[in-house]
Amino acid sequence: MDISRWVFLILIFVSFATIPIFSDSQLSSGELPDIPVKFLDFAKKSEVFDWMVEVRRRIHENPELGYEELETSKLIREELDNMGIQYKYPFANTGIVGFIGSGDPPFVGIRADMDALPMQEMVDWEHKSRNPGKMHACGHDAHIAMLLGAAKILLQHQNILKGTVALVFQPAEEGGGGAKKMIEAGALENVEAIFGLHVHPNFPLGKVSSRPGPFLAGSGFFEAVISGRGGHAAIPQHSIDPILAASNVIVSLQHLVSREADPLDSQVVTVAKFQGGGAFNVIPDSVTIGGTFRAFSKESFLQLRQRIEEVIVGQAAVQRCNATVDFLTNSKPFFPPTVNDKNLHKHFQRVAGDMLGNDHVKDMEPLMGSEDFAFYQEVIPGYFYMLGMQGETNENPASVHSPYFKINEEALPLGAALQASLAITYLLEAQPQVPSSSINGHDEL
């Protein structure tokens, strides 16, 4: 072979060897840890932070209950329009799904709930609820602002976005099962995985917490009418006392957990409603009781449901009463347990650790609260986590669902950046790797 042929081969080899594996619009796996930090720096910029605060306060001033979030939905769509983000609307009455990226697979979702609670706000501040008897007492106003903030971050960094991020704005989390209706309406079409968060007032700002596997309990509600025969309190033998029957029912229901459930399988049955009678000397015709039941596995949950009905009907019969049990599934659907995907847990730990430091990412014990995010996890891998927002003060923060609940707005950039980072790194890691032999094609020479 002559010298010119060798020179030619060397030049070809060098040119192929110096071609980068990733183009300008891609990042190597070694650069992925930089994304969360850069996203957080962007979210903390005054113009981005101030915008999120302003959006959150506008939503807080106008709280709306489940499936009634018309103005909230309108505000979200206006902000998406301002950013030039395409979306589909409506899902489940008021829900929205926006899209950032190529429009091609893979798809990953990030979700925020939109509804408020039917309670009067007791916090006296400039942006207090203007709707009497309604309040954002669970942080959903902050969740919306964070998801819109994540959208702004992703839009600013579209050059490294491979695939599509679905922005899921969901109605009616507070007992209405909005996630279930979003799924039925096709909101998760093409979505492979989904991430959700919840602010935590008793967890320090800058820290996050979750766990793999069962995280939150499945929950359901029940209401029972126990009917007897009313009469004068002085001659009870002429009556059939439903109050006595209901009292026996309540005591027997507590035995379902203490004597029928495995002590290592956490369950709860709580009777929180007891209505009957209106006079001191009159035995009423009927009594209404109601409550909630919770468990961490679907099997335990269904067993508990069955036994609740059997105990109520059976114990009422012992006292010569009749009982009917309603599980209120039309208005308050059963929430399945929230079960975090184990692979997504590892992904969350890496990304959150890169952003906040590994010492700020904690595993936590399961909670008996419930979340309709669990409906998403029944159809695709999902991951739900808690975002701390307790500041460095001596104040004991009010819990969620309290009329004194307050949001620490310093948490907004953290939630926005983390949601955006979880989504974009998921998509980057889901990309097929280019074999080195196809890049360094000199083997064919």
Task: Please check whether residue 351 is in contact with residue 421, taking contact to mean a CB–CB distance below 8 angstroms.
Answer: yes
Q: What percent of the chain has pLDDT over 90?
A: 86
Band the pLDDT of 25: cuts 50, 70, 90: very low
3-state secondary structure of 365: coil
Query: Binding site for Mn(2+): residue ranges?
Result: 138, 140, 174, 198, 401
Name the residue with higher pLDDT: 442 or 77.
77
The arithmetic mean of pLDDT across residues 338-354, rounded, is: 98
Residue 429 CB burial class (10 angstroms; 0-12, 13-18, ≥19): middle
Q: Find out whether 409 and 56 touch, Cβ atoms under 8 Å.
A: yes
**What is the rounded CA–CA span in Å between residue 94 and residue 170?**
8
Same domain, 223 and 167: no
Binned at pLDDT 50, 70 and 90, residue 392 comes out as: confident
Query: What local confidence, expressed as pLDDT, does residue 439 receive?
Result: 35
What pLDDT does residue 431 have? 83
Whether the per-residue pLDDT at 28 is higher than 70: the answer is no
- Give the pLDDT confidence score for residue 5 in this predicted structure: 47
How far is it, in rounded angstroms, from Cα 158 to Cα 104? Answer: 14
Bridge partner list, 326: 223
- Of 326, 346, 380, which marks where a domain is finished? 326
Domain boundary among 274, 304, 326: 326
Please give the residue range of the domain that contains residue 209.
29-216+337-429
State how far the Cα of 153 lies from the Cα of 176, in Å rounded to an integer: 31
Q: What is the per-residue pLDDT across 263-284, written as a single tens digit (0 to 9) for each? A: 999 999 999 999 999 999 999 9
Note whether residue 7 is domain-resident. no
Residue 21 has pLDDT above 90, yes or no: no
Let me know if residue 22 belongs to a domain. Answer: no
- Please report, in range form, the residues annotated as the binding site: 138, 140, 174, 198, 401
Determine contact, residues 444/15, Cβ cutoff 8 Å: no
Asked whether the beta carbons of 312 and 249 are under 8 A apart, the reply is: yes
Q: Does position 124 have pLDDT exceeding 90, yes or no?
A: yes
In contact, 424 and 417? CB cutoff 8 Å: no
Looking at the structure, tell me whether residues 254 and 350 fall in a common domain: no
Contact 89, 62 (CB under 8 A): no
Number of domains within the chain: 2
- Model pLDDT, residue 433: 57
Tell whether 185 and 277 lie within a shared domain: no
Q: Would you say 172 and 95 are in contact if contact means Cβ atoms under 8 Å apart?
A: no
Is the pLDDT confidence value at 37 over 50?
yes
Q: How many helices (H) and strands (E) does the chain have?
A: 12, 16
Same-domain status, 113 and 46: yes
- The reply to whether 9 falls in a domain is no
Are 149 and 413 in contact, with CB atoms under 8 Å apart?
A: yes
* Residue 445: pLDDT over 70: no
Average pLDDT over residues 228-248: 97
Q: Is the pLDDT of residue 91 over 50?
A: yes
Average pLDDT for 319-345: 95
- Domain holding 38: CATH number? 3.40.630.10
Q: What is the CATH number of the domain that holds 287?
A: 3.30.70.360
| Torsion sign over Cα 93, 94, 95, 98 | positive
- Mean pLDDT computed over every residue of the chain: 91
Asked if the structure places residue 6 within a domain, the reply is no
User: Is residue 209 located within the same domain as residue 296?
Assistant: no
Give dist(CA 82, CA 77) in Å, integer: 9
Per-residue pLDDT at 2: 52
Measured CA distances, 165 to 48, 259, 345, 402 (Å): 20, 48, 19, 33
| Mutual angle of helices 46-61 and 412-429, in 10-degree steps | 110
Would 285 be classed as within a structural domain?
A: yes
pLDDT band, very low/low/confident/very high, at 394 (cuts 50, 70, 90): low
Torsion angle defined by CA atoms of residues 412, 415, 416 and 421, in that order, rounded to the nearest 10 degrees = 160
DSSP string, 345-360: HHHHHHHHHHHH-GGG
**What DSSP designation does 262 have?**
-
Share of the chain above pLDDT 70, in %: 90
Task: Please determine, for residue 202, whether its predicted confidence score (pLDDT) is greater than 50.
Answer: yes
Boundary of a domain, candidates 298, 326, 354: 326
Q: Which two tokens stand for residue 253?
A: 């229901």
Asked if residue 181 belongs to a domain, the reply is: yes
204 in the same domain as 151: yes
CA 112, CA 133: separation in Å to the nearest integer?
23
Residue 180 lies in a domain: yes
Name the pTM for this structure. Answer: 0.87
Average pLDDT in the 55-84 region? 98
Do residue 169 and residue 236 come from a single domain? no
Give the mean pLDDT of 389-416: 92
Task: Summarize the chain as % helix, strand, coil (round to 5).
Answer: 40, 25, 35
Instruction: Give the number of other CB atoms < 10 A from CB of residue 200.
Output: 23
Please say whether the beta carbons of 417 and 355 come within 8 A.
yes
Residue 14 pLDDT > 70, yes or no? no
Please state, in angstroms and rounded to a whole number, the distance separating the CA atoms of residues 165 and 363.
Answer: 26
Rounded-to-integer distance, Cα 415 and Cα 407, Å = 13
- Residue 59 sits in the same domain as residue 194: yes
Residue 19: predicted pLDDT: 31
In terms of DSSP H, where are the helices of 202-257? 242-255
pLDDT digits (tens, 9 = 90+) for 365-391: 999 999 999 999 999 999 999 999 998
Residues 46 and 137 in one domain: yes
Task: Give the pLDDT score at 27.
Answer: 54
Whether residue 398 has pLDDT greater than 90: yes
Q: Do 163 and 68 fall into the same domain? A: yes
- Which of 52-66, 138-152, 381-395, 425-439 has the least mean pLDDT? 425-439
Radius of gyration, CA atoms only, the chain: 27
14 domain residue, yes or no: no
Q: Which residue has the tokens 């709280």?
A: 63
288 lies in the same domain as 415: no
Does residue 257 sit in the same domain as residue 212? no
Q: Which of 20-29, 108-117, 125-134 has the lowest average pLDDT?
A: 20-29
